[in-house]
Structure 1
Amino acid sequence: MPLSATTSRSLVDQAIDGMRDLLADGEWTVGTRIPAEPELAAALGVSRNTVREAVRALAHTGVLEVRRGDGTYVAAANEVAAMMRRRVGRVDPQHVLEVRQAIETQAAALAAERRSEDDMRALTELMERRAAATAAKDADAFADADAEFHLGVVTATHNPLLIELYAGFEGNLRTMIHLGDETTDLADAHVAVFDAIRTQDPGAAVAAVTGLLHTLGR
């Protein structure tokens, strides 16, 4: 959709917002290459110079990554995720666990109150994928399913700011999830979180997440 120059905001700012919308809508996902300058300029209805400036700005924040001779790739879903991506890998894992507890306990309570049937179907599928990956001893599939389950819980809050904040952790969480750490207690803890959300019991959801993260931190 062509951008209008009649507002007080610059076309570069509007182009940046247009790209943010593509990221937020899931049309551009992390790891994918974005369209080339001419195509993007045509889609946004601006000049290639405007696109170039917008890309440069988003690359500076860490949302995009310009690879010389290869194109521009999505490095993070938004500026918050980009900041968390830089920070999480540099701090004590215990500090990460404490922040996760602060976010995930509240998220679990809200998810128990607000979850939809679609949310439960998604969480059910992720629990099944997690169990299947454990049985198959597939470390990569396990890390993906586990990280996506936790993000799925946050997604079930239907709070866009909370989802955006937690999404900043997700990429880093995958690198911290190891199939070898899986125990019966940890598997049971995930089931407890799932059951509390399914039965729409916020108190049980908070207790389940607290227990899960305590087990994880042992």
Structure 2
Amino acid sequence: MNNTPAIGAALPAHVPPPVPAAVNGPDEERRDYRPGYEIVAERILEQFEFRRVQEMAAGSLAATRATPAELRTIEVAMQNCRHGFAQGQVDVFNQGDEDFHVGVAVASHNTFLVSTVRDARRLQRQSSAIGIHDVLSEGTAAAVEEHEAIYRAIRDGRPEEAAKATADHLDRTLEDYRREIQRRLFRPTGSQRAR
């Protein structure tokens, strides 16, 4: 007898996107309404939460499983990030960043982590309409140093340190996103700037 629950019961239920509440009159509040920017900001937070869990696991596993060739791939990606930042080349930094995070996932030797890290990063790029990937900033300088800390922990076979360095990196990156969202949402309009 098969006691395995149906696949549908094991999967999370689909949650429809929020829909503005009906307004019957001018004085009634739209209690369920949330502006689009709030929903986008919430999704970005959720993506970072997801990435944090996946990439901490990947970093930890990579510290015990990475081959010399995989370590070299991660190191080169880290160096490309540093070079892109030092030379003001956004595209070089962004490619190095992509190669670094995917390289760590590959070094975990877990096919599912590789797939989820790639997909989460792709979704984050698609949903990031704020253009944070188009500029180099203080956050970019911090990312260069954080990548090095992650790399050293993996290279030295320290899984807990690799996971913590990854968490620190993604937490700081999320704060950069939050600051940029706040800056863009609440910057003064043309008439207010003239004051």
Report the TM-score when normalising by structure 1.
Answer: 0.55
Structure ranking higher on relative contact order (CA contacts 8 Å, 6+ apart)? 2
Report the counterpart of residue 121 of structure 1 in structure 2: 72
Moved more, 192-201 or 208-217: 208-217
Provide the secondary structure at the position in 1 that maps to 2:136.
helix
Shift of 1:184: 3.6
Q: Distance in 1 between matches of 2:116 and 2:165?
A: 21
What residue identity is the alignment partner of 2:75? Answer: T
Q: Distance in 2 between matches of 1:92 and 1:107?
A: 22
1:158 equivalent among 92, 102, 109: 109
What residue identity is the alignment partner of 1:188? Answer: E
Moved more, 95-104 or 176-185: 176-185
Shift of 1:210: 1.0
Shift of 1:186: 2.7
Q: Distance in 2 between matches of 1:201 and 1:130?
A: 22
What's the Cα RMSD here? Answer: 2.0
Q: Distance in 2 between matches of 1:213 and 1:178?
A: 18
Q: Distance in 2 between matches of 1:125 and 1:187?
A: 12
What residue identity is the alignment partner of 1:132? Answer: H
2:147 equivalent among 174, 178, 190: 190
Report the counterpart of residue 12 of structure 1 in structure 2: none
Report the counterpart of residue 52 of structure 2 in structure 1: 101
1:171 equivalent among 98, 118, 122: 122
Shift of 1:170: 3.3
What residue identity is the alignment partner of 2:160? Answer: G
Report the TM-score when normalising by structure 2.
Answer: 0.61
Provide the secondary structure at the position in 1 that maps to 2:108.
coil
Structure 1, unaligned stretches of length 5 or more? 1-88
1:146 aligns with 2:146: no
Q: Which has the larger radius of gyration?
A: 2
1:27-46 alignment to 2 at 5 Å?
none
Structure 2, unaligned stretches of length 5 or more? 1-39, 176-195
1:180 equivalent among 136, 140, 149: 136
What residue identity is the alignment partner of 2:47? Answer: V
Aligned residues: 130
Provide the secondary structure at the position in 2 that maps to 1:180.
coil
Q: How many percent identity over aligned positions? A: 25
